[in-house]
């Protein structure tokens, strides 16, 4: 952890979380990499250093080359199936359950926030936990198909109409889920504090949400390993691993182990 407890930024963040009226959190891939889920953009290890996204993770790829799409997705889905919430997920859930966090907006599709106990999670890039038929639009839990897919590579098809099932994750060329996106924007408009956790803030339109919150008068805390465009406007920038920094923040805010 580069940022050490009780330095200026750490203490500032604690004070902001304790005193905020309405806090929201925006999480990105960096909040799930400690759970063993690979991110997309890290030099050398990110998925997009090994694959061209438009060839494997676009709506066109899914429509015209579904076998290639599902072949690419299979190891990632396996990672997500095996992953467990890490200390950052758990700490955020504790803060939410204690009333310090009102909404978590996540770019991640792994469902780890909910598994950690968070209740109000907005998945702006969708989720891998459900599938929707491209023919009759019936939705199914991924758990009904995941074992055959992971073990044997079986592509999921609708039991009702026989058409292919699409994971409910947002692909390139695809719009964000409208109701979720509108709720995320509204959360930015009414919050007085936003924490950015594990996001490089490079993917629009979600990357614009911290600037939107600032425009409406909110303070911003950034917890991330690398710089973001909003750092210069942030009240506190904590550089390091979210799985170390966020639990440390939560322990201070919740006064763990103190009389």
pLDDT in tens, 144-159: 999 999 999 999 999 9
Q: How far is CA 90 from CA 24, 112, 135, 187, 197, in A?
A: 16, 9, 38, 22, 13
For residue 58, the model assigns a pLDDT of 87
155-162 long-range contacts, CB within 8 A, separation 24+: 155/66, 155/67, 155/70, 156/131, 158/133, 160/133, 160/136, 161/133, 161/135, 161/136, 162/135
Q: Which residues are catalytic?
A: 125
The residue length of the chain stands at 259
For residue 52, the model assigns a pLDDT of 57
For residue 137, the model assigns a pLDDT of 96
Q: How many CB atoms sit inside 10 A of residue 119's CB? A: 12
Q: Is the pTM of this model over 0.75?
A: yes
For residue 258, the model assigns a pLDDT of 55
Domains of the chain with CATH codes:
1-37+85-125+177-259 (3.40.50.1220), 40-82+129-169 (3.30.1600.10)
Low-confidence ranges of the chain (pLDDT < 70): 1-6, 39-56, 256-259
Q: How far apart are CA 111 and CA 197, in angstroms?
A: 16
For residue 256, the model assigns a pLDDT of 66
For residue 98, the model assigns a pLDDT of 97
For residue 31, the model assigns a pLDDT of 95
For residue 211, the model assigns a pLDDT of 98
């Amino acid at each position: 952890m580069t940022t050490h407890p009780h330095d200026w930024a750490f203490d500032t963040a604690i004070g902001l979380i304790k005193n905020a009226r309405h806090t929201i959190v925006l999480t990105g891939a960096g909040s799930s990499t400690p759970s063993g889920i690979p991110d997309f953009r890290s030099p050398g290890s990110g998925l997009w250093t090994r694959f061209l996204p438009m060839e494997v993770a676009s709506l066109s790829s899914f429509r015209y080359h579904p076998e290639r799409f599902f072949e690419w997705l299979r190891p990632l889905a396996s990672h997500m199936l095996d992953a467990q919430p890490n200390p950052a997920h758990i700490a955020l859930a504790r803060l939410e359950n204690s009333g310090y966090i009102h909404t978590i907006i996540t770019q991640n599709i792994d469902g780890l926030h909910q598994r950690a106990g968070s209740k109000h999670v907005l998945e702006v890039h969708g989720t891998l936990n459900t599938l929707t038929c491209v023919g009759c639009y019936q939705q199914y839990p991924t758990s009904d198909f995941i074992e055959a897919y992971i073990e044997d590579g079986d592509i999921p098809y609708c039991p009702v109409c026989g058409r292919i099932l699409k994971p409910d994750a947002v692909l390139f060329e695809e719009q964000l889920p409208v109701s979720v996106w509108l709720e995320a924007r509204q959360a930015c408009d009414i919050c007085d504090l936003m924490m950015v956790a594990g996001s490089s803030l490079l993917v629009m339109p979600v990357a614009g949400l911290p600037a939107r919150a600032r425009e409406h008068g909110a303070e911003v805390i950034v917890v991330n390993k690398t710089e973001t465009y909003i750092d210069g406007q942030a009240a506190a920038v904590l550089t390091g691993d979210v799985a170390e920094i966020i639990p440390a923040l939560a322990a201070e805010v919740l006064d763990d182990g103190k009389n």
